[in-house]
Amino acid sequence: MTADRPERLRLTSICKRYGELKANDQIDLAVGAGEIHAVLGENGAGKSTLMKIIYGVTQPDSGTLFWEGQPVEIQSPAIARQLGIGMVFQHFALFQTLTVAQNIALALEADIDDTELARRITEVSQRYGLPVDPQRLVHTMSVGERQRVEIVRCLLQSPKLLIMDEPTSVLTPMAVQTLFVTLRRLASEGVSILYISHKLDEIRSLCDSATVLRGGRVVTHTLPRNESNDSLARLMVGSAPAPCVLELQDTGAKQLEVNDYCLASPEAFGVDLQDINLTVRSGEIVGIAGVSGNGQKELAAALSGETVGPHRGWLRIAGQTADHQGPTRRRALGMAFVPEERLGRGAVPNLSLADNALLTGSAMGLATKGVRRPRRMAAYAREIIQRFKVRCGGEQSIAQSLSGGNLQKFIVGREIGLQPKLLLVSQPTWGVDVSAAQLIRNALIELRNSGAAILVISEELDELFMICDRIAVITKGRLSPAYPRAQLSTESIGLLMSGSEGEQHA
């Protein structure tokens, strides 16, 4: 540290073990006042465990934490907040049945009048370009909107050290740049920031320094501005990830047909779907882009069968009318589904991976006449773990014990393993490291090459351009036509996101 940037936090020889797994092994790290410090590593490298130790969620087995030069024991998040440490979690720590304001009030030490709190939330969220409604119920919000709540909640605590675990995973490029302006301003005011992200362009653009972890140990400390994306990826995983190759091929039968489909959202703050027209054929990947909160959540629920209500228009799966059918019937027609929320919807947190394989795997013979077949469940889970390189303690590992990226690989692998005719995937690589993201993308391309129809809803424009044959944009519940990827650019996608007419796409 320097005289103009005194030391804010130092970790020395931090160790944390879970059974035979060394999550953190002799970790040393230092962060100065006003420094934006990245922590890099592939999924399961120990990043989130280390951040939870700093925030008091988890206690280290050994090692010492120094806060502003003094040794401290951070035994709870409340103590961390008293010191001036705030954290934005990768897996949201929000009560879904409470409002935005009620969730934020729980994290504040002082009692604040409801009216004053709502005013402060509105002021801070608007100032930093992260608009949220204080009175909105969290369960009605998309993942991207919930991310805004987490960030605003931290900013209201005026932290000295802000920990951000994948804060931009579901933010749009414009929202990311707005957030970066905020973070740079906070840093200029002396706030230290620990920043975890798998988006290497972000790291190189935003961060002053970086600590790279691999297998729970520090590989190196480096200056991101002196690295390339490839060199950072090699430091993280030991090699450059396999590129995506999307070759032209003929398409086949229509596996998904949506015609003039209108559906009112059952949520007070939801987005109504209006005149949705969409076709996805065998052998192609169609992507849907859009700013978070424009109907992606509602469209995924309507297509998966989670929301079945009074509607206009119709929906067919594999040629069969399905708009009045629930998820079970739609799966029987050959559809599989990866939701945007891993824990709670994609997987049951406190069940093993083998048990989670059974959730959608009855067609794989994992159960007979309602009776579980544990050996087949375990074998199928092991197959997914091996094929998708899921880092865990085996098929009996509890879902919530996995890192976010490893759980995502398991859920995607589980659905791809069903060999569906139609796969609906929402935010496939949210919070996933570079290597795992490419593994997932290449698995989707391989499934497409085998003749499946795939619909991907993603707020990662780069991802959509990598893997999609055609791309559409959803804006305020309306879906544009799906244009061939070659006819689109990031600028034309931006025009469609703003609601411009479709003829401006070229």
- Residues 215, 298, single domain; the answer is no
At 103, list the tokens. 């969730």
* Residue that is last in its domain, among 237, 265, 297: 237
DSSP state of 134: T
> What pLDDT, on a 0 to 100 scale, did the predictor assign at position 501?
47
What's residue 171's pLDDT? 66
87 plus 233 within the same structural domain? yes
Q: Is residue 242 part of a domain?
A: no
pTM: 0.71
d(CA 358, CA 372): 8
Burial (0-12, 13-18, 19+ Cβ within 10 Å), 450: exposed
Rounded CA-CA distance 30/192 in Å is 11
Q: Amino acid identity of 384?
A: I
Asked if 25 and 145 sit in the same domain, the reply is yes
Same domain assignment for residues 295 and 390: yes
Residue 482 lies in a domain: yes
Residues of the chain with pLDDT under 70: 1-4, 90-91, 143, 169-174, 239-240, 363, 365, 369, 498-506
Query: What is the Cα–Cα distance from 79 to 59, expressed in whole angstroms?
Result: 13
Length of the chain (residues): 506
Residues 216 and 274 in one domain: no
Residue 60 inside a domain? The answer is yes
Residue-wise pLDDT for 391-440, tens only, equals 888 889 998 888 778 889 999 999 998 899 999 999 898 777 788 888 89
Shared domain for 398 and 366, answered yes or no, is: yes
Q: What 3-state DSSP class applies to 263?
A: strand
Per DSSP, the residues of 322-338 read -TT--HHHHHHTTEEEE
Do residue 136 and residue 194 come from a single domain?
Answer: yes
Cα(387)–Cα(402) distance, rounded to whole angstroms?
Answer: 16
Domain containing 92 equals 7-237
The tokens for 442 are 């290449």
- 42, 195, 217, 386, 407 from 240: Cα distances, Å: 12, 22, 20, 20, 22
Residues 293 and 347 in one domain: yes
How much is the pLDDT for 500?
55
Residue-level pLDDT at 459: 81
Q: Tokens representing 290?
A: 């859009």
Domain co-membership, 46 together with 176: yes
Q: Would 275 be classed as within a structural domain?
A: yes
Residue 249 lies in a domain: no
Say what the pLDDT of residue 503 is. 40
Both 122 and 204 in a single domain?
A: yes
User: Which CATH number belongs to the domain containing residue 149 in this structure?
Assistant: 3.40.50.300
Asked, for residue 204, whether it belongs to a domain, the answer is yes
**Are 327 and 178 found together in one domain?**
no
Written as six digits, the tokens of 54 are 């700093």
As a whole number of angstroms, the distance between CA 453 and CA 279 comes to 10
Count of domains observed in the chain:
2
Considering the domain architecture, whether residues 77 and 195 belong to the same structural domain is answered as yes
